[in-house]
Structure 1
Amino acid sequence: MGNWVNIQRDADTGIELVHAHFKGFAYDPHFHSSYLIGVTELGNQQFHCRRKLVNSHQGQVFMLEPEEVHDGYAPEPLGFTYKMLHIDQDWLKQKYQGLFTQPFELEVASTLNSDPLVAQLVDASYRAMSNQEPQLMKDSYLDLLLERLAHQNLWSARENSICALPDIALKIKEILHENLYTDLDLNTLAQLAGADRFFINRVFKQAFNCAPHQYLIRLRLDQAKILLKAGIPASMVANSLCFADQSHLGRWFKRCYGLTLRQYQSACTNVLSSSR
């Protein structure tokens, strides 16, 4: 397998998604105006940054601030594969705005991070945007990632401000039911619930043992079964329930129910009449 690079851009956030594989030389010293947050999927990638030689092994997260010069190459014959998010610094600053009593700007203390949760959230955020998942899912994973990257001591005071958790969680649940056919985003959900968007996931998960976007997907899949049983074409079902397309709905449906859309609809619309 030779070198390859796949690039996408998420229209809502402007985040650039890069999935790449390199053997040997990868790229000359350069910099980006955005934050780089990536995870090494396979192999070992080496790069010079901050006057050091950095080795990022499989499962490790690498992070760079805007305009940090770096190069890249593979020291091992099989090369390395990585996923990376290019995050605009103004967008990131706006996301953190108003969260803390003092102005906050993300500082990358180390170019390497071995926190497995950060690695999982980078991958989950990448997949959610790449697969054009519902807006609430994309927002949720990105917020969880941003929260994890911020200094933990800045969140401690805010933790104590969460009150009436069951009431907020029930209100969120109501809103999700009301927005079955709307591509709800996290900011709108937070405004409707009257809660801080960074704690929406935590409050809901504490009450219902799943994140709001997971609950909404399950609601939509359950509704998809009802619509498919009514004989509505799968493409129309997917579109009405905010899936990117029929194949997107089909992938989720198969994962949850073990059946394709065609198999389920065929079984439920060709019911044998009972004989006496």
Structure 2
Amino acid sequence: MTSTNWVDLSRDPETGIESLRAHFEGHAYDPHWHDTYAIGLTEQGVQRFHLGRTRHESTPGKVILLEPGDVHDGHGPTPEGFTYRLLYIDPQWLHQRLGGLFEQRPDHYRMAFQDAMSSDVRLAHAIGTAFDVMHHGDFRITRQAALDTLLERLTCHVQWRRRPRPSPAMPLLAAKTREFLHAHIADDIGMDDVGRALGCDRFRITRAFKAAFGMSPHAYLVQLRLVGARRLLARGETPAEVAAATGFADQSHLGRWFRRAYAMTPAYYRNRCSKLPD
């Protein structure tokens, strides 16, 4: 991370909501995904990102709404870069709280956003208020009130989709590859291991996986390990312990990938989430 780029992160101990404010110039981050909902807004500059094959550009005041698993990147196309703030919200927490605002919600449905971006001024204000009180640890009742207002405004931008089921649109080969990667998150596997396990040529596996998920099996596995690393670091485990548990060669190996993905060190993330010293 250059001296002109910076990241400020905090975590609310009651809800587990992470609040992040950051500034980047030029390339910000490679394609990646989160296991949380990401709800935020652009403060300054132009924030360009790709979601799937669609390019978006967010300018000051615009709202960004990302679902768990949405593969996206980040770039600042203008010289002054861009500044943004995001709330990372656990899917189960949001599903439970927001679901209570709907009188009828079948259990086999999941919450989804209608669009990845919005110009809703009231929603942008609600996000900004919730971010401020969460990020700076305001009174508990103040944090709850701000979140309630945010959730109420979000009801104008969500829909309920059926939970995903196996579909011909996702080749069985890609689905089985993903299952294999999840089962071997901490193992030092290669594509030849995947090919032997599935009885298929590794080049065909890679093509099928990219078509289904928008990234290679290798990139997906790295993201999977980083998501696991974030969970363990937030619980207070040391970077060395986390590296061993999530398949990285050592603490330095974890650090290189973590900085590349999140523009911060594992130690910084652990400290901001758990309040434990580095």
TM interval, shorter chain, is 0.5 to 0.7
Give the equivalent residue in structure 2 for 1:101. 104
Q: 1:41 aligns with which of 18, 43, 58?
A: 43
Distance 1:152 1:73 in 2: 25
Q: 1:127 aligns with which of 121, 127, 132?
A: 132
Give the equivalent residue in structure 1 for 2:58. 56
Distance 1:152 1:132 in 2: 27
Please tell me whether the aligned partners of residues 36 and 85 of structure 1 are also in contact (alpha carbons under 8 angstroms). Answer: yes
Q: Percent identity?
A: 42
Pairwise CA distance, 1:143: 1.1
Please tell me whether the aligned partners of residues 111 and 158 of structure 2 are also in contact (alpha carbons under 8 angstroms). Answer: no
Distance 1:48 1:56 in 2: 11
Q: What 5-or-longer segments of structure 2 have no aligned partner?
A: 160-278
Higher mean Cα deviation, 43-52 or 100-109? 100-109
In the alignment, does 2:142 pair up with 1:137?
Answer: yes
How many correspondences in the alignment? 154
In the alignment, does 2:173 pair up with 1:146?
Answer: no
Please tell me whether the aligned partners of residues 106 and 150 of structure 1 are also in contact (alpha carbons under 8 angstroms). Answer: no
Pairwise CA distance, 1:133: 1.1
Letter in 2 for 1:136: I
Pairwise CA distance, 1:140: 1.0
Letter in 1 for 2:145: S
Give the equivalent residue in structure 2 for 1:19. 21
Letter in 2 for 1:88: D
Give the equivalent residue in structure 2 for 1:253. none
Q: What 5-or-longer segments of structure 1 have no aligned partner?
A: 155-276
C-alpha RMSD over aligned residues: 1.8
Pairwise CA distance, 1:135: 1.1
**Please, what TM-score do these two structures have when normalized by structure 2?**
0.53
Question: Aligned with 1:54: secondary structure?
Answer: strand
Question: Aligned with 1:2: secondary structure?
Answer: coil
Question: Aligned with 2:93: secondary structure?
Answer: helix
Question: Which stretches of structure 1, 4 residues or more, deviate above 4 A after TM superposition?
Answer: none
Pairwise CA distance, 1:151: 3.7
In the alignment, does 2:113 pair up with 1:115?
Answer: no
